[in-house]
């Protein structure tokens, strides 16, 4: 029972990738081949798929027919034939990818072998990116299925610009600064990124249209503070003390002692009414000031700190001003891939 | 320093607007005690006057004038009073945040002229000042009165003047002021060439008033 269940699951797995495409097939023979594949009637699949390939098919239908052949040969352990079928498939549709989780290992390995036996440039991708001209680059990546001499070019409004070239195999990552030979940013417009691969007499090209646009570089606003640094209060309120009344007492006492010392003995003891009036006022004022909240006084350390901070901010703003002058002369380059219309 | 020159200096300082300049001017009420020659000759009285103070950076000038009506005090040998007009002026230069040196003049005249000594002298001294609270400053002053001249003649080798002052900012530009001055002149005279005799002069003067900051 367990073995029977496993076989059902295995066959179901083989059939899954074919489901979606079977619904899209317009050719009657191809549809029958798909139905036979779904029913595990492999010999009939071979007959019908080959027959379909002799008929007029669209590119997608032709690719589907070879795919059915590849899967069927794989299921029948005819690996070499499966590889041949898959080679035809990837030549028609180089971007075709199998999901290793949904196809049988035999079919997947046959597909993988087929990929390595034909020269392809696949999965050409250009990321959307925006940067200041001369200070960034456009990431370009693609896969070359065989060791080959590869040249990547951008062809468009600004002429043809060679991005890079070399002998590459497998995943290739390039960075295109989007500049002309003179160093200026490429003019805005639509470009086609073309990757040519050559191995002996075999050549293959892949392309991806991209749109290059220019914009103004954002200027940097001036700063009024530095992150992590705060202005400190430039005055501080000293703690209350007896100093006011002490000083008033000291000054009044000095006047009293001086008066007593200077008084002439021959003139007798002088009137203290005048000193009492003013000295009393000074003492009362000192006492009141002692009780009052002290006046804020300059905080020298904070003033120095704030001055240094202001100097730093001024220096930063000077740098920003210089940077903004340069930025106004720069251009913001934005590169975005243009979606390709898939032929039916 | 002549009165005209002092007046011109005060006017120039007062009228010239500049950072760090402050001018106060206002009326004063005065109390005074005046003694001369002997303990039996003493007068007390009061009067009115005015003061002006100006500062520019480290330099400050101060002038005060007061007119006093002095009457014989209880137990005084004097029988009639007199009127005295006293003018004080100083020019001070700050040598520290709490001290300055100063020079100035003192002039006191009596009316009727021979009821008391009229005197003029040059002041040379120093003062200390300290802000004891927001807008409140106390001042202590000590001046040597050099080269005094008396209407009755004589000399005074030792003549000193002590002062205590208080300035409080009452509200906005309004200040309250109180000053005390005590001066002692060891005057000696030689009437008729019979030999010097002591004829000291001692004055206590308190002034209380208001001043407006300009």
- Contact between chains at B31 and A268 (C-beta distance less than 8 A): no
Residue A256, CA distances (Å) to A69, B37, B83 in order:
124, 23, 27
Interface test with A, best of B180, B189, B197, B198 (most A CBs within 10 A): B180
Q: Three-state DSSP class for B13?
A: helix
pLDDT score of A136 more than 80? yes
Pick among A251, A253, A254, A296 to test the B interface (most B CBs inside 10 A): A251
Distance CA A267, CA A274 (A): 17
Q: Does A261 touch chain B (CB under 8 A)?
A: no
Instruction: Lowest mean pLDDT of A41-50, A123-132, A257-266, B27-36, name the range.
Output: A257-266
| Pairing label, strands A159-176, A138-156 | antiparallel
Distances (CA, A) of B30 to A39, A258, A278: 128, 21, 11
Please give the Cα distance from B186 to A226 (Å, whole number).
70
What pLDDT is stored for residue B12 in this prediction? 53
Count the residues in chain B: 214
Q: What is the mean pLDDT of residues A177-203?
A: 89
Q: What pLDDT band is residue A20 in, cutting at 50, 70 and 90?
A: very low
Q: Residue A293 is encoded by which pair of tokens?
A: 């909240």
Residues of B in contact with A272 (CB under 8 A): 204
Closest-CA residue to B30 (of A281, A283, A273, A260): A273
Per-residue pLDDT band at A10 (split at 50, 70, 90)? very low
pLDDT at A340: 74
pLDDT value at residue B6: 64
Classified as helix, coil or strand, A326 is helix
Name A160's Cβ contacts closer than 8 Å, sequence gap at least 6.
A153, A154
**In this complex, which of B42, B136, B162 lies closest to A255 when CB atoms are compared?**
B162
In the prediction, which pLDDT does A172 show? 93
Predicted local confidence at residue B15, as pLDDT: 45
CB of B63 closer than 8 Å to CB of B1: no
- Of A193-197, A240-244, B10-14, B151-155, the one with minimum mean pLDDT is B10-14
Asked whether the beta carbons of B161 and B142 are under 8 A apart, the reply is yes
**pLDDT tens track for B50-99:** 999 999 889 999 999 999 999 888 877 778 888 999 999 999 999 998 99
DSSP string over chain B:
--HHHHHHHHHHHHH---TTEEEEEEEEEEEEEEEESEEEEEEEEEEEEEEEEEEETTEEEEEEEEEEEEEEPTT-S--S-EEEEEEEEEEEEEEETTEEEEEEEEEEEEESTTTS--EEEEEEEEEEEEEEETTEEEEEEEEEEEEEEETT--B-S-EEEEEEEEEEEEETTEEEEEEEEEEEE--EE-GGGS--EE--EEEEEEEEEEEEE-
Complete DSSP assignment for A146-180: EEEEEEEEEEETTEEEEEEEEEEEEEEEEEE--B-
**Mean pLDDT score across all residues of chain A:** 86
> pLDDT tens digits, residue range A310-320?
999 999 999 99
Q: Given this model, what pLDDT does residue A218 score?
A: 83
Give the pLDDT of residue B135: 85
Residue A125: enclosing H or E segment and its boundaries? strand A121-126
Please determine, for residue B17, whether its predicted confidence score (pLDDT) is greater than 60. Answer: no
Residues 278-317 of A with CB under 8 A from B: 278-279, 281-282, 285-286, 288-290, 292, 294-295
- Its pTM stands at 0.52
Between B191 and A148, the higher pLDDT residue: A148
Band the pLDDT of A8: cuts 50, 70, 90: very low
pLDDT (average), residues A62-77: 92
pLDDT of residue B108: 92
pLDDT of A252 reads: 94
Q: What is the pLDDT of residues A318-343, one digit of tens each?
A: 999 998 888 888 888 899 998 876 55
Confidence of residue B128 (pLDDT cuts 50, 70, 90): very high
Report the pLDDT value the prediction gives residue B9, as an integer from 0 to 100.
60
CB-based contact (8 Å) between A262 and chain B?
A: yes
- Measured CA to CA in angstroms, residue A182 lies from A130, A135, A335, B79, B159 at distances of 21, 15, 20, 114, 94
Q: What pLDDT band is residue A19 in, cutting at 50, 70 and 90? A: very low
Task: Say whether pLDDT at A297 is over 60.
Answer: yes
Check residue A25 and give its pLDDT: 64
Is cis: bond before B112, omega within 30 of 0? Answer: yes
The C-alpha atoms of residue B32 and residue B202 are separated, in whole angstroms, by 11
Point out the least confidently predicted range of A18-22, A265-269, B10-14, B120-124: A18-22
ipTM value: 0.85
Q: Is residue B207 within a helix (H) or strand (E), and if so which, with residue range?
A: strand B201-213
In the prediction, which pLDDT does B19 show? 46
Q: Which residues of A touch B35 (CB under 8 A)?
A: 264, 267-268, 270
- Residue contact B164–A255, C-beta within 8 A: yes
């Amino acid at each position: 029972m367990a073995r029977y269940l496993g076989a059902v699951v295995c066959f179901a797995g083989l059939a899954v990738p074919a489901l979606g495409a079977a619904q899209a097939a317009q050719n009657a023979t191809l549809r029958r081949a798909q139905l036979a594949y779904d029913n595990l009637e492999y010999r009939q699949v071979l007959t019908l798929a080959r027959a379909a390939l002799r008929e007029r098919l669209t590119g997608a239908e032709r690719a589907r027919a070879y795919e059915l052949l590849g899967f069927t040969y794989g299921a029948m352990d005819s690996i070499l034939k499966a590889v041949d079928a898959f080679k035809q498939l990837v030549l028609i549709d180089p971007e075709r990818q199998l999901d290793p989780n949904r196809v049988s290992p035999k079919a997947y390995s046959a597909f993988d072998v087929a990929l390595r036996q034909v020269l392809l440039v696949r999965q050409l991708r250009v990321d959307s990116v925006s940067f200041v001209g001369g200070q960034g680059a456009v990431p370009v990546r693609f896969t070359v299925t065989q060791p080959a001499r590869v040249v990547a070019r951008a062809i468009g409004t600004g002429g043809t610009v060679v991005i890079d070239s070399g002998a590459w195999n497998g995943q290739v990552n390039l960075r295109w600064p989007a500049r002309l030979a003179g160093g200026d940013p490429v003019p805005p417009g639509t470009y086609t990124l073309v990757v040519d691969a050559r191995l002996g007499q075999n050549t293959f090209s892949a392309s991806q249209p991209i749109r290059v646009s220019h914009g103004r570089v954002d200027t940097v606003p001036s700063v009024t503070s530095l992150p992590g640094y705060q202005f400190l209060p430039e005055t501080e309120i000293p703690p209350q003390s007896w100093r006011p009344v002490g000083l008033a007492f000291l000054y009044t006492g000095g006047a009293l002692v001086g008066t007593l010392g200077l008084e002439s003995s021959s003139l007798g003891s002088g009137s203290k009414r005048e000193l009492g009036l003013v000295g009393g006022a000074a003492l009362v004022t000192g006492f009141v000031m002692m009780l009052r909240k002290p006046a804020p006084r300059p905080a020298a350390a904070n003033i120095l700190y704030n001055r240094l901070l202001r100097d730093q901010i001024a220096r930063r703003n000077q740098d920003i001003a210089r940077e903004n002058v340069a930025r106004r002369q720069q251009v913001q380059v934005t590169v975005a891939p243009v979606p390709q219309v898939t032929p039916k | 320093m002549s009165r005209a020159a002092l007046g011109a200096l005060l006017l120039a300082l007062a009228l010239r607007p500049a950072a760090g300049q402050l001018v106060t001017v206002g009326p004063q009420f005065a109390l005074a005690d005046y003694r001369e020659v002997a303990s039996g000759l003493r007068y007390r009285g009061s009067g009115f006057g005015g003061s002006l103070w100006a500062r520019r950076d480290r330099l400050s000038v101060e002038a005060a004038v007061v007119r006093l009506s002095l009457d014989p005090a209880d137990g005084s040998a004097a029988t009639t009073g007199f009127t005295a007009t006293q003018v004080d002026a100083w020019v001070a230069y700050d040598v520290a945040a709490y001290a300055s040196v100063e020079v100035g003049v003192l002039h006191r005249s009596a009316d009727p002229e021979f009821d008391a000594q009229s005197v003029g002298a040059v002041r040379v001294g120093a003062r200390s000042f300290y802000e004891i609270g927001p807008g409140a400053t106390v001042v202590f002053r000590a001046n040597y009165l050099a080269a005094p001249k008396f209407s009755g003649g004589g000399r005074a080798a030792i003549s000193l003047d002590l002062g205590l002052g208080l300035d409080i900012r009452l509200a906005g530009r309004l200040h309250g002021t109180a000053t005390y001055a005590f001066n002692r002149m060891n005057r000696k005279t030689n009437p008729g060439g019979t030999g010097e005799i002591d004829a000291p002069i001692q004055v206590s003067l308190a002034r209380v008033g208001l001043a407006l900051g300009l």
